[in-house]
Amino acid sequence: MLAEDTIVMRQVRTFVDDEYTIHSADGRQLTLKGSALEFSLDVTDAESGTVYAQVTRSLGDLPTFLLSKETFLVSFAPGADETVRSVTIGALLAIDMIRKKERRADAVS
């Protein structure tokens, strides 16, 4: 049994696309789906199909890119409430940590 404030995130990855399903504490299911190569994601309500946010990655200048520092731009729709915003930001932080861990593992092997 999960605690009341638990958020569950599951990842489905293909060669080109990433998809994350998030079950929020309030019972909603959000889907983050987009291109792994371009790192652009749409955040949608799995039930209604409402797009709550769009996420894109900005590579910035060459030194920033070479240092693997990334800037993510998040645009929320007016209908995105506090829960959707919090879950989206939390999911992006988790995705960023997962990607950094994968890059470190690839560098070692």
Range of the domain at 25: 1-77
Residue 11: pLDDT over 70: no
What percent of the chain lies above the pLDDT cut of 70?
Answer: 75
Classify residue 95: in a domain, yes or no: no
- Quick check: is 30 in a domain? yes
In this prediction, residue 92 has a pLDDT band, given cuts at 50, 70 and 90, of confident
93 located within any domain? no
Residues 6+ apart with CB under 8 A from 69: 60
Amino acid 8: pLDDT: 58
Which pLDDT score is estimated for 13? 58
Total structural domains within the chain: 1
101 within some domain: no
Whole-angstrom Cα Rg for the chain? 15
Largest CA distance in the chain: 47
What is the residue whose two structure tokens read 């399903």? 21
User: Residue 47: CB partners within 8 Å, gap ≥ 6?
Assistant: 28, 29
In-domain check, residue 42? yes
Give domain status of residue 43, yes or no. Answer: yes
* 17: CB partners within 8 A, 6+ apart: 33, 34, 35, 36
